Amino acid sequence: MLFDATRRELLRFSGMGLAATAAPALAMASGRTHTGSTTPAMAGSPARFDVRQFGATGDGKTVDSPAINKAIEAAAAAGGGTVTFPAGSYLCFSVRLKSHVHLELMAGTAIIAADSPKPGDATGYNGGTYDAAEPNLPWEPYQDYGHNHWHNSLLWGEDLDNVAITGPGLIWGRGLSNGRDHVMLGYPFRAEQAGVGNKAIALKNCRNVLFRDFAILKGGHFGLLLTGVDNLTIDGLVIDTDRDGMDIDCCRNVRVANCTVNSPWDDGICPKSSYALGYARSTDNVTITNCYVTGTYQLGTVLDGTFKKFTGQESAEMRPFYTGRIKCGTESNGGFRNITISNCVFEGCHGLALESEDGALLEDIAVSNLTMRDLISGPLFLRLGARLRGPQATTKVGTLRRVTISNIASYNSASKLCAIASGVPQAAIEDLRIANIFMEHQGGAPQSYAGITPPENEAKYPDPAMFGPMPSQGFFFRHVKRLEVSHTEVAAATPDPRPAFYLEDVERADFIAVTAPAGQPAFRLKDVRDLRVRISRAAADATLDKATDQTL
């Protein structure tokens, strides 16, 4: 069993040891407690609804979602209120969120996803099922199965206002599918099968949403799938999961802060702009700050504080991908505008990714103050591609422009893949500024890497490995206009024969105060126009109107 090594700590955290003890009802702030009545509360009176008073047991054996849904419905009927979860383990199928309702997870509380139906079975634990995955035609072909449905989740809501989940409790997606091969990580559930749940929390077309201070363990395909959610705050979450930590899709006015995400098999914090709403809606005005993302730790061990790394002896099904990053994309129909990413730590994962693949406008992005350690690829991956998954009549190559990246320290990254910024021949990345970067990679690449010309792969799924081994040990720029790199150093732990900076089809590039390993050319230039190098240790000052194929 995957969780045997950490079960004791997780059970203690989730309050299972207290599951058989009924907690007393919490007093309302006004001195009253709701006991199942749906009589509206007095105007202005704070209302609290204890799930135990609606029949929830918290014993970890009884399916408590019917009682919890009654408590939520009562709060909504009263005009809003707080639904409280005393310490205990609440085994659930779908819990339906409502407008003006706040779920408060007390210390020692765990909401646990009941087992989904196994292949060939019509029902799961004690005859239960998750709510049906609603149809989303004709838009389903433009994103994967998980992005197209919200109701087949542990907690879900649609067209809601003023929703909150807070408190130091745990949401454990134990019985959810992760949407991959059903044998991966011991899953007996297929995501597409009727009655199966595959997301911990899913919201669609909601406004004024707050998630604060709780933890998610093993969240299925998504710990959080938030589509078309505006005025969204995510603060202080710990997510230790087997696919994406949080997907922020087609959302506006978003604040993500103080979160920890361990996601070895997929991305950690992932703004997207899919076609799942039936139209191309951009993700705008997003701040991601003070977060830690990683893909290097065994599932559950960040949550319980043991931080156990993978051993390298895992089976093929259990082998991690070490993904765990912050990424804008891959679903990118609507676009990303006004995004800031700052003061974050990356460890044992891919680096930061900014991707426009499906016609998106990716514009006005500011990235600053990141530290990165033990990356499996280069620290940056910027891709303007032409996958163009969307309605054929309207989907054209998008843009990637006005991006500033500064103050990044990256140590011990794998040397096969460098930092990459690559457009396609018909569409260049524009107005890219990179400053104050220190990148030390492992080095030691073979001489043959220096002669590689990476394939264009215009329509291929974007990921750093899509180009194969890279001909640069530091930065690879292709199809870029108006590039500036300043006060940046590339260092290798062991000697590496490749240049630090590789430029191909680049127009107007300035390199100021850049440093590279000594004893070899720092620049490889192919079809470069209007290049200036100034006050740099990497190369002598130079001004070139055109460089067809040369080194500096």
Mean pLDDT of 161-172: 98
Q: Is the peptide bond before 455 cis (omega within 30 degrees of 0)?
A: no
- Mean pLDDT lowest among 144-153, 181-190, 406-415: 181-190
Is the pLDDT at 8 greater than 60, yes or no? Answer: no
| pLDDT grade for 394, boundaries at 50, 70 and 90 | confident
CA dist 541 and 552 (Å) reads 10
What pLDDT digit, counting tens, does each position of 118-141 carry?
A: 999 999 999 999 999 999 999 999
| pLDDT grade for 482, boundaries at 50, 70 and 90 | very high
- Tell me 8's DSSP state: H
Q: What is the mean pLDDT of the chain?
A: 92
Q: Give residue 1's pLDDT.
A: 37
CA dist 81 and 305 (Å) reads 34
Q: Give residue 395's pLDDT.
A: 83
Element (H, E) at 221: none
CA atoms within 13 A on the CB side of 263: 32
- Helix, coil or strand: residue 368: strand
Mean pLDDT of 372-395: 93
Q: Give residue 182's pLDDT.
A: 62
**Which tokens go with 30?**
């006004």
What pLDDT digit, counting tens, does each position of 197-227 carry?
A: 999 999 999 999 999 999 999 999 999 999 9
Is the pLDDT at 317 greater than 60, yes or no? Answer: yes
Phi first, then psi, for residue 61 (nearest 5°) are -125, -40
Residue scoring higher pLDDT (314 or 73): 73
| pLDDT grade for 33, boundaries at 50, 70 and 90 | very low
C-alpha to C-alpha distances, 142 to 179, 292, 361, nearest whole angstrom? 16, 30, 17
| pLDDT grade for 181, boundaries at 50, 70 and 90 | low
Contact 125, 100 (CB under 8 A): no
Mean pLDDT of 60-66: 98
| Nearest C-alpha neighbor of 470 from the set 539, 531, 540, 414 | 414
- DSSP for 271-299? EEB-STTSS---EEEEEEES-EEES-B-T
Is the pLDDT at 442 greater than 90, yes or no? Answer: yes
Is the pLDDT at 43 greater than 50, yes or no? Answer: no
Is the pLDDT at 550 greater than 50, yes or no? Answer: yes
Contact 474, 453 (CB under 8 A): no
At residue 358, what is the residue type?
Answer: D
Is the pLDDT at 468 greater than 60, yes or no? Answer: yes
What pLDDT digit, counting tens, does each position of 220-278 carry?
A: 999 999 999 999 999 999 999 999 999 999 999 999 999 999 999 999 999 999 999 99
| pLDDT grade for 187, boundaries at 50, 70 and 90 | confident
CA dist 157 and 507 (Å) reads 48
Cβ within 8 Å of residue 486, ≥6 positions away: 434, 435, 436, 510, 511, 512, 513, 514
Q: Give residue 42's pLDDT.
A: 35
What percentage of the chain carries pLDDT values higher than 70?
91
Is the pLDDT at 469 greater than 80, yes or no? Answer: yes
Decide: residue 29, CB within 10 A, 0-12 exposed, 13-18 middle, 19+ buried.
exposed
Q: Give residue 12's pLDDT.
A: 41
pTM: 0.92
